[in-house]
Structure 1
Amino acid sequence: MAKQKKQPRPKAQAPKGFPDYFGAEVTQRTEMLAKIAAVYHRYGFDALETSAVETVEALGKFLPDVDRPNEGVFAWEEDKDWLALRYDLTAPLARVAAQYRNDLPSPYRRYAMGPVWRNEKPGPGRFRQFYQCDADTVGSGSVAADAEICAMLSDTLEAVGIDRGDYVIRVNNRKVLNGIIEGLPVSNPKKPQPNTFEEMMRTRISDIEFVSPDAVLRTIDKYDKVGSDGVLQLLTTGRKDQSGAFIDGVGMKPGDARNVLKFMQSIGKNNQETIANLRSLIDYSEIGMEGVDELEEIAFLLQAQGYGPDRIVIDPSVVRGLGYYTGPVYEAELTFEVQDEKGRPRNFGSVAGGGRYDDLVKRFTRQEVPATGVSIGVDRLLAALRAKGRMDSTAQGPVVVTVMDRDRMADYQTMVAELRDAGVRAEVYLGNPKNFGNQLKYADKRHSPVAIIAGGDEFDQGIVQIKDLILGAEIAKNATLEEWKDRPSQYAVPRDQMVTKVREILDGQG
């Protein structure tokens, strides 16, 4: 009889792009989301929690990867329907707004927080599962709703610990960008183009290549990453990226590409000057001028509320990549420097973005339902706070009550109960108590601030030993022997004063 092969052991390894999050990371995210929710709630927005699964039909064409329609999501077939994990929190909102339109107030203001999933290649800082935090107003076509989102985003960044001056919210309008496209020749010069009426009559439409407006928008959206020269190359013949790979250009004529750059670089000393610059550049386009008027009103409304250009600016270089935006678009950028993996200084960059999307709900209702909103990249915002030193990568652990005598376990449990009743995070050591050194190593691994020690002698005397683990570690690292004697890190206190002394030590640790 052939020997049966052993089943291989499964690999203890998470799939690529699906990170695991541990204690401090989860706690810090929860605390940050609570601060964000408090701001949203103060602005009158209600919480909404939708299913993690939507139908592919409901997600529609607005998928993250325009080159692979319906391939940017994790999808499966069930009872002849295709279902998918949500790739953002906006598409589910559009479905909710249509499904419950007779029950919801109009405008409907909601915020949502949770994980989203994208079926795309993972890489450094690029995950397939990540958290988003959105706020949207559905049912208002007023640019006052856009201005409110920008003001709320400003308040949110400051509430979580980003100082004024360390961020800027940049605002543009897709109507202005559409006006730019209106003023461009659409034919692509890669092929010979007809110069006379006779040539044009002899030219088939299939012989003419066209510049894609979406391709132009996607290209100028790279302005922050590749600069003006890079955009100029990508709009025309193409360029090599950092890896040496060649990226084909859109195929515009150099003169037309430079005209596009004029818009990108038309930001002035203040919002009023920027708006005047835009008016002079786009006076040929009705839709473009409409977009400039809306930007002017947004700037006016924000200024009236005290949100000046130190926080929110009109910036024509903002595009936003997703194709469903129809009006104002905005992006929150952190302006302070951090170091990249090679130690080079760089700006931290964008942590939030959004805009107006008046056609998204229309897919369900066949009626235009105006909407505007913003999405915060939660993990990027957490990384920014850590980079600024506003958030430690390790959270303080619990007070550990060590076990010196197994037979006194009930007494140790009484101690920990008293600490918890006083609001102190605490636990009894539940491992093998035989080696006391291992208990202190455990407390150190847990980043515990204090250890409680009580054996037979302490119980007989009615005292406990309280060890300040934070101070002890600092003394061991920095102090001389004399300083060690002058600064005790362990205290013997009466048993009934245990909670008071622990709280005093914790308060002293900050």
Structure 2
Amino acid sequence: MSGEKKERRPRAETPKGFRDYFGAEVTERKEMLDRIAAVYHRYGFDPLETSAVETVEALGKFLPDVDRPNEGVFAWQEEEADWLALRYDLTAPLARVAAQYRNDLPTPYRRYAMGPVWRNEKPGPGRFRQFYQCDADTVGSASVAADAEICAMLADALEEVGIPRGDYVVKVNNRKVLNGVMEVAGVLDPSDPEKFAHERGIVLRAIDKIDRLGPEGVRALLGDGRKDESGDFTKGAGLSGEQTEVVMGFTTARRDTGAETVARLHELVGASTLGAEGVQELETIAYLLAAQGYGPDRIAIDPGVVRGLGYYTGPVFEAELTFEILDEKGRKRQFGSVAGGGRYDDLVKRFTGQAVPATGVSIGVDRLLAALRAKGRAGGDAAGPVIVTVMDRDRMADYQAMAGELRRAGIRAEVYLGNPKNFGNQLKYADKRQSPVAVIQGGDEAAKGTVILKDLILGAQIAQNATLEEWKNRPAQVEVQRADLVAAVRRMLDGSNG
């Protein structure tokens, strides 16, 4: 028996690249998503919830991080059956739904979806393998009015959750324009779309990283390749110096006004029919938005927006927050992108064989929450429930009745269910729960028909910096009639919030 190995206990730790979310974080996320959903609902979009698991075939191969196992998805094979994977975004499942239920859904079909997605990517600071997305899409409309509407709705959603005008800009570009530039550069052949497809993928991902890598880093990726600070080498697109400069000219095409930017894009696309079509679509989007009061201070044409995913076919957009924050080293920097999307007219076609136009946007929920915390619109300590303490085990029904009355009045409340022997532990529990009020009724109070209410918020303030006068004017503990419990607690809560 002595030679038997002792069973090893599992390590209590989250897997690398994943994290847990507690109380206030979950509540803040829900409140933010509810506000965004209200905007989407006003625009006529309906909610949709799809399975977290899709077949690999249905998901397709569109992730930018193709060097990871299974091309960036968490996948497994059912016994002698299909390969399955956790969804990497909410758009690919929508394409499957649009194809599967095409005879039942209205055309166009307008939906929004919110939930976690999973990517088998290399984790890093602030980069997790599971994260929330919040999407809205229109499937079945080829009109650029649908793209313009998505941009307007995105601007409204940002303002609804607390990002004021002047602190964000929705940038709009068009993949057709970039494809026109790549045609001029000699890395796109309209007669053979698959030719140079690998090189174009590298070009797209390189341009999409210009804010992080800078012009020289992008140039390196367009050419032979780039070695990062850790020494890892990323193979480039292999473009010549002349081809590289044509593409780089596209990244710096933005001018002071939308009209000047469009004129520069016309020059860059040259004789490319596809490129000219993309420029025309940008002009139309700008016109439609201006007619609704969305000027370039809120939504602007910007050739620097590319989006790394390979399925975009037309307009692409990105919401960037323009206010400054301090990074981990105390340096000022702009907050950056919190949402992006675009037109993907070929995604549903994979299932049906018929062209089905679609456009949509995805909000990075964790990024937007971080932005709201930076603006002081989220991240404060969330108040816990009112705690009904237990002074006598045999009177648990009375304490439960008190909590029930508070709940029916809309007040969050709970009865202490730990060992009630040490009353100090009950107050420590209330403090850890960030409870605003503790309800106390011992035998003496029960005989008199009263309860004691302890103001835990004021008590904490007194312990820190409340003046003696404030303490006298508002005692931290009061005794009230049992029948007045709900009204007295509400008064105390209103005072704590004042």
- TM-score normalised according to structure 1 size: 0.91
Q: 2:464: which partner in 1?
A: 477
Structure 1 segment 40-439 matched on structure 2, within 5 A: 40-68=40-68, 70-78=70-78, 79-186=80-187, 212-236=199-223, 238-243=225-230, 245=232, 247-439=234-426
Q: 2:25: which partner in 1?
A: 25
Q: Report the more deviating stretch, 362-371 or 405-414.
A: 405-414
Q: 1:449 to 1:349 in 2, by over 3 A?
A: same
Native 8 Å contact 2:64 2:310 kept in 1: no
Secondary structure of residue in 2 paired with 1:392: coil
Q: How far apart, CA to CA, are the structure 2 residues paired with 1:37 and 1:293?
A: 32
Secondary structure of residue in 1 paired with 2:338: strand
Q: How far apart, CA to CA, are the structure 1 residues paired with 2:376 and 2:156?
A: 20
Describe the superposition over 1:19-59 as per-residue Cα deviations: whole angstroms up to 9, x where unpaired: 21111112222222211111111111111111111111111
Q: Which amino acid aligns with 1:418?
A: E
Instruction: Tell me the CA shift for residue 428 of structure 1.
Output: 1.0
Q: 1:482 to 1:90 in 2, by over 3 A?
A: closer
| Structure 2 unaligned blocks of 5 or more | 189-195
Q: How far apart, CA to CA, are the structure 2 residues paired with 1:157 and 1:277?
A: 30
Describe the superposition over 1:325-370 as per-residue Cα deviations: whole angstroms up to 9, x where unpaired: 1000001111112222222222111111111111111111111111
Describe the superposition over 1:64-123 as per-residue Cα deviations: whole angstroms up to 9, x where unpaired: 433457332121212322111111111111111111111111111111111111122222
Instruction: Tell me the CA shift for residue 133 of structure 1.
Output: 1.2
Instruction: Tell me the CA shift for residue 285 of structure 1.
Output: 1.6
- TM-score normalised according to structure 2 size: 0.93
Instruction: Tell me the CA shift for residue 233 of structure 1.
Output: 3.8
Q: Which amino acid aligns with 1:94?
A: A
Instruction: Tell me the CA shift for residue 136 of structure 1.
Output: 0.9
| Structure 1 unaligned blocks of 5 or more | 188-208
Instruction: Tell me the CA shift for residue 439 of structure 1.
Output: 0.9
Q: 1:203: which partner in 2?
A: none
Describe the superposition over 1:190-225 as per-residue Cα deviations: whole angstroms up to 9, x where unpaired: xxxxxxxxxxxxxxxxxxx99922222221111111
Q: Report the more deviating stretch, 142-151 or 403-412.
A: 403-412
Q: Which amino acid aligns with 2:108?
A: P
Q: Report the more deviating stretch, 137-146 or 21-30.
A: 21-30
Q: 1:211 to 1:65 in 2, by over 3 A?
A: closer
Q: 2:193: which partner in 1?
A: none
Q: How far apart, CA to CA, are the structure 1 residues paired with 2:70 and 2:225?
A: 28
Q: 2:192: which partner in 1?
A: none
Q: 1:6: which partner in 2?
A: 6
Q: 1:82 to 1:252 in 2, by over 3 A?
A: closer
Secondary structure of residue in 2 paired with 1:358: coil
Q: How far apart, CA to CA, are the structure 2 residues paired with 1:244 and 1:70?
A: 24
Q: How far apart, CA to CA, are the structure 2 residues paired with 1:146 and 1:112?
A: 18
Q: 1:503: which partner in 2?
A: 490
Q: How far apart, CA to CA, are the structure 1 residues paired with 2:68 and 2:394?
A: 65
| Count of residues paired in the alignment | 489
Percent of counterpart pairs with the same letter? Answer: 73
Structure having the higher Rg: 1
Q: Which amino acid aligns with 2:133?
A: Q
Instruction: Tell me the CA shift for residue 173 of structure 1.
Output: 0.2
Instruction: Tell me the CA shift for residue 234 of structure 1.
Output: 3.4
Q: Which amino acid aligns with 1:349?
A: G
Q: How far apart, CA to CA, are the structure 2 residues paired with 1:219 and 1:116?
A: 24
Q: How far apart, CA to CA, are the structure 2 residues paired with 1:86 and 1:418?
A: 44
